[in-house]
Structure 1
Amino acid sequence: MNDPHPINHAGYRDVPDAEGGDAARGWWDSHAAEYLDEHRSFLGDAGFRWGPEGLQEHDAHLLGDVAGARVLEVGAGAAHCSRWLAARGAHVVATDVSAGMLAHAARLDRETGVRVPAAQADARALPFADDSFDVVFTSFGAIPFVPDAARVHAEAARVLRPGGRWVFSVTHPVRWAFPDDPTSRGLTAQFSYFDRRPYVETDGEGRVAYAEYHRTLGDHVRDVVAAGLRVRDVVEPEWPEWNDQVWGGWGPERGAYLPGTAVFVTTRD
């Protein structure tokens, strides 16, 4: 694929919040097809995985009983998870900031015959009324790509009914101290766990093309609590023997020693 804005510089550095937070839309629009083609066999057309380790919702049951429930997915990408839930009786809506990703979601709707209502929306400003959903979730969506993740949690809490569940998976915070290498070379810490500067890629004109934000375990918990949510569980999937796939910095060699994903299960009191 010819990238219209080739990367000129990559590294950890501060950038204005507006530039970093807005970069995700354009990056995912440009890379949606490439990303989905690369990971098609792992994601499936209507599967629900919480991360590269392969933990599936039908085994983990982190969302609870979804039959008849009103469910919202934020940062849905091509809506694989939403489609899986819809096939099990959930009344689900998928949102994503990227029109490119949602176009692929519509294609998969047609190919699978499982239609999921979708809307283009920033997870920090959801177009839904208060108390609209029983469950809100994201699998590696939204949170890593914005400088103000507290707003994502606040919006999830706002649209949840009392007693509702907000579940989200992110890169395990410990992994940010290590290089993005799935082999044994990635087992030596090279960065400070407490350095919260984002990983940023800029193009030849100095524009932010991609930004991903690090938060410590404590940061995630504080953001959730500040939104009026209660942490019920933190799941750290182990790397299973059957999974021999390498996905970026995730893979079986390093996965045998270091966690790669953290899944937070929270509820609105």
Structure 2
Amino acid sequence: MDRDEILKTNKTYWDSNADLWFGTTALPEYGVKFVTEDDLHLFGDVSGKKLLEICCGSGHSLKYHADKNASELWGIDISHKQIENADAYLKEHGYTAKFICSPMEADMDIPTNYFDFVYSIYGIGWTTNLQGIFNKIASYLKKDGIFIFSWHHTLNYCVAWSCNQRKDVIENDTLIFSKSYFDESYFTMPVDGSEIILCNRKISTYINALAKAGFVVEQMVEQSDNETMEAVRDVSDKTKKAKMLPISFCIKARKL
């Protein structure tokens, strides 16, 4: 699928629907039905640190770090509407950040060997060039700088509930593989009356791309939150699924 078509489609979606996602999937949350930064402490003390967020969305994760006394905040997003929302949200709370509206893969005026942390909360999977963006992120970071990102777990898109002939009734809480884990081709997904274009990369694709970019993985998390795992009554299909397989994953890597 053509890269420009993918970027145009996804930018159009986010420009049109940014308000629907205002404040969602932002720190301390790393994902749906997933452990949080309050549980994991992947960032540690960010006071006095310089941070860059890839796919900064509505700015809530940037505010999270501003509240913890980060010294400098940058945000990149493909959507001008997301940037507008983030800028307004931070200013409302007395903070500022340097924003760039651009595809993450583009060449941008971002300093190299500069940041203590680069991170992306449910954003990195939108890239059309995983190796390219990991290489760029490595260039932005100081030596021993930290890259943290979360995204949909590969299995989440591969596994679905088994349904009977009516196609709408789940049978016996049985999950089946609905697509190949090895299929990394792009697909179009209808969302909110519009559409987005994604691909479902293998976990090994992320790990190998990190290694090639000069990172060492310090931690990988695939853990559903305790509330989900302990739920026993009146649970949703998503909760039941999250009790059986990871819906999200998170990786912390260090630049060598």
TM range (shorter): 0.7 to 0.9
List runs of 5+ in structure 1 lacking aligned partners: 1-14, 203-207
For 1:1-269, what aligned pairs fall within 5 Å after superposition? 15-36=1-22, 40=23, 47-90=27-70, 91-125=72-106, 126-141=108-123, 143-179=124-160, 187-201=175-189, 209-241=195-227, 251-269=238-256
List runs of 5+ in structure 2 lacking aligned partners: 163-169
**C-alpha distance in 1, partners of 2:74/2:199?**
26
**C-alpha distance in 1, partners of 2:173/2:16?**
31
Is the 1:121–1:127 Cα contact (8 Å) retained in structure 2? no
**Structure 1 position 260, deviation (Å):** 0.7
- TM-score of the two chains, using structure 1 as the length reference: 0.79
Compared CA separation, residues 124 and 232, structure 1 to 2 (3 A): same
**Structure 1 position 229, deviation (Å):** 1.0
Compared CA separation, residues 254 and 67, structure 1 to 2 (3 A): same
Compared CA separation, residues 215 and 186, structure 1 to 2 (3 A): farther
Q: Which moved more, 1:126-135 or 1:154-163?
A: 126-135
Compared CA separation, residues 116 and 56, structure 1 to 2 (3 A): farther
SS, match of residue 62 in structure 1? coil
SS, match of residue 52 in structure 1? coil
- TM-score of the two chains, using structure 2 as the length reference: 0.83
One-letter code aligned to 2:112: D
Q: Which runs of 4+ in 1 moved over 4 A?
A: 183-186
Is the 2:215–2:254 Cα contact (8 Å) retained in structure 1? yes
**Structure 1 position 153, deviation (Å):** 0.7
Question: What CA RMSD, in Å, does the superposition of the two structures yield over aligned residues?
Answer: 2.7
How many residues get paired? 239
SS, match of residue 187 in structure 1? strand
**C-alpha distance in 2, partners of 1:64/1:152?**
24
SS, match of residue 122 in structure 1? coil
Is the 2:34–2:247 Cα contact (8 Å) retained in structure 1? no
**C-alpha distance in 2, partners of 1:263/1:169?**
4
**Structure 1 position 240, deviation (Å):** 2.7
